[in-house]
Amino acid sequence: MSPASPEELRTITISRMLDDHRVVFAGVGAPLVASALARRLHAPHLSVVLEGGIIGVTFRDGSLPVSTNEMRAAFGAPMLTDITDVFLYAQAGFFDYGVLGAAQVDRFGNINSSIIGDHDHPTVRLPGSGGANDIASLCNKLLIVTSHESRRFVEKVDFITSPGWLSGGTTRCDAGLRQGGPAAVVTELAVFDFHPVSKEMRVCALQEGVTIDEVRSRTGFELTTVADVGQVAPPTSVELQTLRKLTGVDAHQ
């Protein structure tokens, strides 16, 4: 079996953070795949909620939905509501996790998925918020998964699409967002948490074979670490086989 790709490494790592008998509001892409993997391996009673109003998705091997609104996303779901109801449930505090990707993320966990460059004359236009702002604002714990590049890990995002800890400290609460906030960021290099007071991102664990200097070299701001940086357990053969079966990739590659 071939080693895990960077995308597989990120997906497996964040899937381990999703506990059984909880509810996760998943974005498309890696967040959705990670949720499906968690259900298959260690959290069979994890309820997966999608923006389109689908609650309790059942995933089919090799046929994961690419959108939160397509009918494949409703396969086996015990409840079909609408987008308004889903966000009302989030506002009421029913969702334990929100999982999102990021085009840019800064030291306080603010996410940009709108524009790169100047607001009036951007160099790149991205998809925008969709439900991401609501997920970041309302879910009880936000988990972020993204590839690790200095252009993504920036001192200050070009646009705050989805709020993290804003400027750190109490600023998120001061702005009226009294629940939730980023709890972890997962990449192919490391896992990060946030300082309980300053709310700054810090390295708490390294992926296998990665050094802290490598992480710093690919981060666009000054990184801090926890007192005792841990080691992320490498993917197991069962995790890789299950993930590849879910995504339709040859499990024996």
**pLDDT, tens digit, 9 for 90 and up, residues 124-139:** 999 899 899 999 999 9
- What does the pLDDT average to over 169-183? 97
Q: What is residue 249's predicted lDDT score, i.e. its pLDDT?
A: 83
Q: Confirm whether 253 is domain-assigned.
A: no
Q: Confirm whether 252 is domain-assigned.
A: no
Q: What is the DSSP letter of 4?
A: P
* Helix extents (H) in the chain: 6-15, 30-41, 83-91, 132-138, 171-174, 212-217, 237-247
Q: Confirm whether 239 is domain-assigned.
A: yes
Q: What is residue 253's predicted lDDT score, i.e. its pLDDT?
A: 54
Q: What is residue 175's predicted lDDT score, i.e. its pLDDT?
A: 97
- Burial readout 174-203 (b: 16 or more C-beta within 10 A, e: otherwise): eeebeebbbbbbbbbbbbbbbeeeebbbbb
Residue 67 has pLDDT above 90, yes or no: no
**For a pLDDT cut of 90, what percent of the chain falls above it?**
82
Cβ atoms of 165 and 119 within 8 Å: the answer is no
HSE-CB for 180 with a 13 A CA cutoff: 33
pLDDT category of residue 251 using cuts at 50, 70 and 90: low
Tokens of 63: 């046929």
Active-site residue numbers? 51
Q: Confirm whether 1 is domain-assigned.
A: no
CATH number for 216: 3.40.1080.10
Q: What is residue 109's predicted lDDT score, i.e. its pLDDT?
A: 98
Q: Confirm whether 74 is domain-assigned.
A: yes
Q: Confirm whether 94 is domain-assigned.
A: yes
Whole-Å CA distances, 123 to 17, 24, 200, 225: 35, 33, 28, 33
Residue 252 has pLDDT above 70, yes or no: no
Q: What is residue 150's predicted lDDT score, i.e. its pLDDT?
A: 96
- What does the pLDDT average to over 199-213? 98
Alpha-carbon span 34 to 247, nearest angstrom = 11
**pLDDT tens for each residue of 69-88:** 777 888 888 888 888 999 99
Cβ atoms of 193 and 204 within 8 Å: the answer is yes
Q: Dump the DSSP string for 59-93.
A: --TT---SSTTSGGGGTT-SEE--HHHHHHHHHTT
pLDDT category of residue 34 using cuts at 50, 70 and 90: very high
- What does the pLDDT average to over 153-162? 97
Residue 235 has pLDDT above 80, yes or no: yes
Alpha-carbon span 188 to 191, nearest angstrom = 8
Q: Confirm whether 121 is domain-assigned.
A: yes
Cβ atoms of 188 and 232 within 8 Å: the answer is no
The type of residue at 93 is G
Q: Confirm whether 207 is domain-assigned.
A: yes
Q: How many domains does the chain have?
A: 1
Window from 114-128, 170-184, 192-206, 224-238 with minimum mean pLDDT: 114-128
| Domain boundaries, position 115 | 6-247
